[in-house]
Amino acid sequence: MSILQGGNVLITGGTGSFGRKCAEYLLTHAPPRRLVIFSRDEQKHVNMARTQFPASKYPQIRYFVGDVRDPARLRRALRGIDYVIHAAAMKHVDVAEYNPTECIRTNIGGAENLIEACLDVGVKRLVALSTDKAAAPVNLYGATKLCSDKLFVAANSLAGQGGTKFAVVRYGNVLGSNGSVVPFFQKESGSGVLPVTSPDMTRFIITLEQGVQFVLQSFERMFGGEVFVPKIPSTTILDIAKAVAPSCRTTIIGIRPGEKLHECMVPCDEARQTLEFDDHYVIQPTLKYWVNQPPAYIEAGKSCSAGFTYSSDTNNVWLSVPQLRELIATHCPPAGDLGIPKAA
């Protein structure tokens, strides 16, 4: 993370779960000269400034109210910025299905606006957050994130030699984040019954801290155009329910529209351009942006075999119920706690 230390950093969606944890981690481990929190939610800015990062203690933070749909506001916010972490998105599957044009304008139009603004003002590097739902998508949210990923990868061609470098990070469900299943189960546990979509449903699991660390490490690793995928464990939705509330009974309600039974982060068709490392995969761009000088990390990677997939149901690392219970106790706030945690 030395590349970010002392630099000027902007986080889009900076008042969300990831943005708050990322800001906390940066300020603790790699303090930037200036940290801009970019978000459209005024109240979240106020809460964050009052309870987590007060100006008296963190004078380098700037709270910038704005929307990624507004290209002029983005260009203004990005003036003097070296590094961008793009976490802003509409991410709820059901909300996206009911409001498709809004999802498209934020996730796709916002990505295009951000790319153009970064190129205009001379940002050095951008890492965009994606999702396992962008791999072979079956819902609109996943489809918009796939399109967004393609835009960021292709933006390296627009940047040219010496221009902004763009890369993407793709990972699975974040334990305890806004809208995830753990807070929902915590809330429902009082009724004595937890609704489970399918006992066979599997998901990749990552903590906020692990997600933040992986994103920040990607700034060091990136050459431009990669999709970085961490190696993380799988679990079943039924085991999550057992970990949250072992005394509750479960009722099977069926898979909801737009959901998959299992998630995938490296589909078979992308495995042909994927390199495997000890703790992550790198999906290389189809069109290489490093013809004359390939990245050094390529030599250390192992090409994935034909037909390889990295899927939550065939993963070789699984979380047991006791392990899940320990992670939930450590990383998830109690049910109903919607406040912003204090900085460490």
Question: For the chain, percent helix, then strand, then coil, each to nearest 5?
Answer: 40, 20, 40
Q: Return the SS3 of 236.
A: strand
83-86 and 8-12 strand pairing: parallel
Give whole-number Cα distances, 96 to 8, 114, 173, 208, in Å: 33, 21, 17, 23
Q: Return the SS3 of 214.
A: helix
- What is the amino acid identity at position 210? Q
Q: Is 254 exposed, middle or buried (0-12, 13-18, 19+ CB in 10 A)?
A: exposed
Cα–Cα dist 19/12, whole Å: 8
| 57 is a catalytic site residue | no
What is the helix (H) or strand (E) element at residue 13, kind and residue range? Answer: none
Catalytic residue (one of 21, 44, 133, 260): 133
Give whole-number Cα distances, 177 to 40, 85, 89, in Å: 19, 17, 14
List the catalytic residues: 133
